[in-house]
């Protein structure tokens, strides 16, 4: 479900809200029963933004070593969660 739908009635969710959720699997066999609600809750987070500057090849790159310069994103641009890695 898109976040834009969850921000409107009846959900009114925003980034950082704590929610309890039940999960149900749906596949070619059919539907599973709903899970128990998660006890601790889950934070509403959004997909992180792209870095403001594209990764660039560093001039110290050698034939056997690739060095990439990345400008990390911080604050609200991370989608509400710390970024622990980037994938090239």
| Rounded to 5°, angle at Cα 83 from 82 and 86 | 175
Give all strands (DSSP E) within 1-88, no chain letters: 18-19, 26-27, 30-31, 42-43, 56-57, 68-69
DSSP 55: -
Q: Give dist(CA 16, CA 13) in Å, integer.
A: 9
Res 76 pLDDT > 80: no
pTM above 0.75, yes or no: no
List, for residues 47-59, the tens digit of each pLDDT value: 667 776 777 788 8
Give the CA distances from residue 80 to residues 13, 22, 41, 65, in Å, rounded to whole numbers and listed in that order.
Answer: 14, 22, 15, 33
Q: Give dist(CA 74, CA 6) in Å, integer.
A: 24
């Amino acid at each position: 479900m898109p976040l834009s739908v969850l921000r409107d009635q009846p959900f009114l969710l925003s980034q950082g809200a704590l929610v309890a959720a039940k999960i149900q699997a749906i596949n070619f066999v059919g539907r599973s029963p709903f899970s128990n609600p998660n006890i601790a809750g889950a934070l509403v987070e959004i997909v992180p933004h792209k870095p403001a500057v594209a990764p660039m090849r560093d001039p110290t790159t050698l034939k056997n070593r690739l060095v990439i310069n990345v400008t990390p994103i911080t604050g609200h641009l991370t989608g509400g969660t710390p970024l622990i890695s980037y994938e090239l």
